[in-house]
Amino acid sequence: MNDIPAIAVRGLTKRFGGRTVVDNFDLTVMPGRICGFLGPNGSGKTTTLRMICGLIIPDAGEGEVLGLDLRTRRSAIKAQIGYMTQKFGLFGDLTIRENLEFIGRVYALDNLEHRVDEALEKLGLASRADQMAGKLSGGWKQRLALAAAVLHEPKILLLDEPTAGVDPQARREFWDQIHSLARDGMTVLVSTHYMDEAERCHEIAYIAYGVMLARGTCDEVIAASGLYALQGEGKGADRLAAEIEARPGVAMAAPFGTTLHVCGEDPAMLRAAVEPWAKSIKWSEVSPTLEDVFIHLMREAPDNSVAVQ
């Protein structure tokens, strides 16, 4: 197995005017791994992706992508990366096949007809090859965009919130395709707001206001959070969220159906916080969720993206 990282960046920093959008960012991803990239809106995820693929030059920091220097070999890096942006960026007045043929000509690919046929078949687009791209639903546009991003057989695939606005079945099918690509050795870095998608990644990185706050597998990130959780069941449990969240030791309280999920960093204080409802509500220990961890990190993170005076 290749033990050279596909992505290894250190100290990446990017400022726009007086705002620090990405601040001293480190990331290492090994070949064939799927790394989920998470964080609130405006946290610097897209800017980081663009620095990694060579579209934006960092103000500080260094690194290698596919063993190539991030600053001096940008053109060579870009040739080996597939990048799927948030918005559908292909031509609505061309068919699916015509869009892929156009992309293939941009990359000057050989055996173009065979490559396009193979991409259509692999991503389930063959039966719709002559359909106009502008008439496709969100899920089918997503498949076409993915086919275009991997047509030149890149070694790294960067996906910027690729499933926003797509139905659950299409999202699941998309992720099955991503795992298939990773099994074939492709490295994938994907930004997402969906916790179920984060859990399908081999590892995750959480960034807020340009700063890395958590890194590892989902289980490792949850374990390192220091959070404890209780679940309350009983009549009216779901209506106690605001009252319980205001009590000492409670970081957050959220209803899930008819139950209440309560989190905090001190188990004794958490138990004391729910004690007044011990007779009417049954409280049991549960594991914190990834969503608990990310909301907690978001609330705790200092906003260092404000303009420097």
In this predicted structure, what is the pLDDT of residue 23? 93
Backbone angles phi, psi at 304, to 5 degrees: -100, 20
Q: How confident is the model at residue 120 (pLDDT cuts 50, 70, 90)?
A: very high
Tell me which residue range forms the domain holding 239. Answer: 228-287
φ/ψ region of 96 (left if φ > 0, alpha if ψ in -120 to 50, else beta) reads alpha
Stretch among 43-47, 151-155, 229-233 having the lowest mean pLDDT:
43-47
Average pLDDT (128-144) is 90
Residue 166 placed within a domain: yes
In this predicted structure, what is the pLDDT of residue 303? 64
46: enclosing H helix or E strand: helix 45-52
Q: Are residues 214 and 239 in the same domain?
A: no
In this predicted structure, what is the pLDDT of residue 42? 83
In this predicted structure, what is the pLDDT of residue 307? 47
Q: Are residues 185 and 279 in the same domain?
A: no
Distances (CA, A) of 27 to 60, 78, 194, 211, 214: 14, 18, 21, 11, 11
Average pLDDT (76-86) is 91
CA atoms within 13 A on the CB side of 292: 30
Q: How confident is the model at residue 2 (pLDDT cuts 50, 70, 90)?
A: low
Residue 1 placed within a domain: no
Counting residues of the chain whose pLDDT is more than 90, the rounded percentage is: 74
Residue 305: pLDDT above 70?
A: no
- Nearest alpha-carbon partner for 132 in 93, 190, 160: 93
- Let me know: does 293 contact 226? Beta carbons within 8 Å: no
Q: How confident is the model at residue 126 (pLDDT cuts 50, 70, 90)?
A: very high
Q: Are residues 32 and 160 in the same domain?
A: yes
Task: Domain count for the chain, please give it.
Answer: 2
In this predicted structure, what is the pLDDT of residue 304? 56
In this predicted structure, what is the pLDDT of residue 259? 96
pLDDT tens, residue by residue, 8-44: 999 999 999 888 999 999 999 999 999 999 988 888 8
Q: Are residues 140 and 25 in the same domain?
A: yes
DSSP state for residue 95 in the 8-state scheme: B
Could you tell me how far CA 140 lies from the centroid of its own chain? 20
Residue 231: pLDDT above 90?
A: yes
Q: Are residues 203 and 233 in the same domain?
A: no
- Let me know: does 301 contact 268? Beta carbons within 8 Å: no
Residue 77 placed within a domain: yes
Which amino acid would we find at residue 41?
N
Q: Are residues 203 and 232 in the same domain?
A: no
Q: How confident is the model at residue 195 (pLDDT cuts 50, 70, 90)?
A: confident
Residue 306 placed within a domain: no
What tokens were used for 171?
């999202």
- Let me know: does 308 contact 299? Beta carbons within 8 Å: no
pLDDT tens, residue by residue, 166-183: 788 888 888 999 999 999
In this predicted structure, what is the pLDDT of residue 56? 92
Average pLDDT over all residues of the chain? 91
In this predicted structure, what is the pLDDT of residue 170? 84
Q: How confident is the model at residue 297 (pLDDT cuts 50, 70, 90)?
A: confident
Which residues are bridge partners to 208 per DSSP? 211
Counting residues of the chain whose pLDDT is more than 70, the rounded percentage is: 96
CATH number of the domain enclosing 232: 3.30.70.100
Q: Are residues 142 and 262 in the same domain?
A: no
Q: Are residues 136 and 269 in the same domain?
A: no
pLDDT tens, residue by residue, 255-276: 999 999 999 999 999 999 999 9
The residue among 204, 221, 238 that closes a domain is 221
Q: Are residues 55 and 88 in the same domain?
A: yes
DSSP line for 167-229: -HHHHHHHHHHHHHHHHTT-EEEEE-S-HHHHTTSSEEEEEETTEEEEEE-HHHHHHHT--EE
The residues, ordered by sequence, that sit 6+ positions from 91 with a Cβ below 8 Å of its Cβ are 98, 99, 102, 133
Q: How confident is the model at residue 309 (pLDDT cuts 50, 70, 90)?
A: very low
Hey, CA dihedral for 54, 221, 86, 90, is it positive or negative?
A: positive
In this predicted structure, what is the pLDDT of residue 139? 85
20: enclosing H helix or E strand: strand 19-29
Q: Are residues 188 and 41 in the same domain?
A: yes
Q: Are residues 236 and 140 in the same domain?
A: no
